[in-house]
Chain A
């Protein structure tokens, strides 16, 4: 692993968890793929070919430069480009909280993918709770934005997400909760700052 990759994985511990759940050679769709780092990583680690969906111009150009297939369409208008079950795995990594049509995206993910992997910063982490209790919007490593500049619109906790999955008839197959890159098993909704889920249609 190069120094660059190590730095990437330190910054995005969910990538390791995601890669662990992606079977070698799987067809992957990464929603809100940024500069394509995850797709590049999955290609190197799993030989999993994929496409990214991204709306931001600079990120899309970065994907092209990174030799990652990218489709510049708006996630919010759905995944009409993609046929049912056309991917082995659809990934939404740390993008859920920035999506307006949360339910629509989750439904689309389990339509297009045989599996969906979702990761998000856990708003139920004790640090966030404490900051709110002290009368402030939380700012932390996993929630790095001030309230006035955040792209995030729909924060949720681990419990909130699991409730929504139940309501949408989305089945959670596996869950991994992390803090500072390490798994958290005790009181995950309190001690975990990052949650990663593997889901399928119910």
Chain B
């Protein structure tokens, strides 16, 4: 955990007087400090990227299949940093943290944070750890947006950006999904305008529904059919509204699980950060102009079955990078996993990442 006393000015204009950033590292920073790789997490993950804790053998890091000794992002060669974003509920300062001004949890008063703000806070963490320049920044989905923003906020501090299952901006359909999720949370009677901590309740119903919607969009129709088909959970149709199908059971299970560990105020803010991310916004919608200041080399990866952030979004990014004559490679992997494919161990995907990392000079 790193504590920062210098205030951070946010894109919204709000300011956090002081904050904590939770982080984990793997491997060793070399003498030249040239082997650091920042791993940016997406919506519901944390700084716990790889491995398990001694006292929690079941708590495997969210990208453990990619990061570790001998893995595609090899921690024998690279110093890997996972940092938890501001506004999270996994250790960094967020809505459930105590607001020093009131002595009570921030709740609804915690500001809306953006991808730009996260990069700013990560840069301060990098300063603290003595990392002037990252060999690479990597992330999937919202994590990839941070990786892209890094190349714009700090062009000289990123040598390679691996942008996986990402979009340079959300489509209206994506914003629509996020809005439904937010409405589910905010209309839960236990939400109390975001000040539910002091009431001793949690808007679990809203969180459950938000997570169920999310899950539907992270899986491809094909993956869902393969995994569940129309399998019944009970012997025959019940002609009532209890669980008939396996997919219903799965969604309820995922929703229940999520609502026990995730914070509703965090969920609202993360979906807003997704909605607001649009580097081209300040350039009249011209992405190529927005990316003109990037200096990194890029590896862009999309998955054909991803309909949440479809390949067309990644191709838009690639085109803008080509327009700027940036070094870029693009992989469009025919994996069935939908948006979640970036977390799975497709052999082609991992072979490409392994090859890419192996070619990064230290």
Contact = CB atoms under 8 A, between A and B. Distances in A.
Contacts of B299: 64
Contacts of B333: 57, 72
Interface in B295-334: 299, 315, 318-319, 322-323, 325, 327-334
B351 to A, nearest CB: 5
A7 interface: no
A60 B323 contact: no
B355 A61 contact: yes
Nearest to A58: B348
A69 B359 contact: no
Interface stretch (A15-23, A79-87, A89-97): A79-87
Interface in B336-362: 348, 351-352, 355-356, 358-359
B361 to A, nearest CB: 10
Nearest to B330: A71
Contacts of A51: 322, 328
Contact of B330 (A57, A65, A70, A80): A70
B328 to A, nearest CB: 6
Contacts of B331: 60, 64, 70, 72
B329 A81 contact: no
Contacts of B348: 57, 61
Nearest to B332: A72
Contacts of B329: 63-64, 69-71
A68 to B, nearest CB: 8
B356 A64 contact: yes
For the side of the interface on A, what is the size category? Answer: 10 to 19
A67 B299 CA distance: 11
Given A65-B359, A81-B315, A83-B323, A73 B332 contact: yes
Contacts of A27: 325
Interface string B5-26: 0000000000000000000000
B286 to A, nearest CB: 13
A82 B322 contact: yes
Interface in A44-58: 51, 57
A-B CB proximity, top 8 nearest: A65-B355, A64-B355, A71-B330, A72-B332, A67-B359, A57-B348, A72-B331, A61-B351
Interface of A: 27, 51, 57, 60-61, 63-65, 67, 69-73, 80-83, 86
Interface of B: 299, 315, 318-319, 322-323, 325, 327-334, 348, 351-352, 355-356, 358-359
Given A57-B334, A69-B328, A82-B322, 12 more contacts: A57-B348, A60-B331, A61-B352, A64-B299, A64-B352, A64-B356, A65-B359, A69-B327, A69-B329, A72-B332, A82-B319, A83-B323
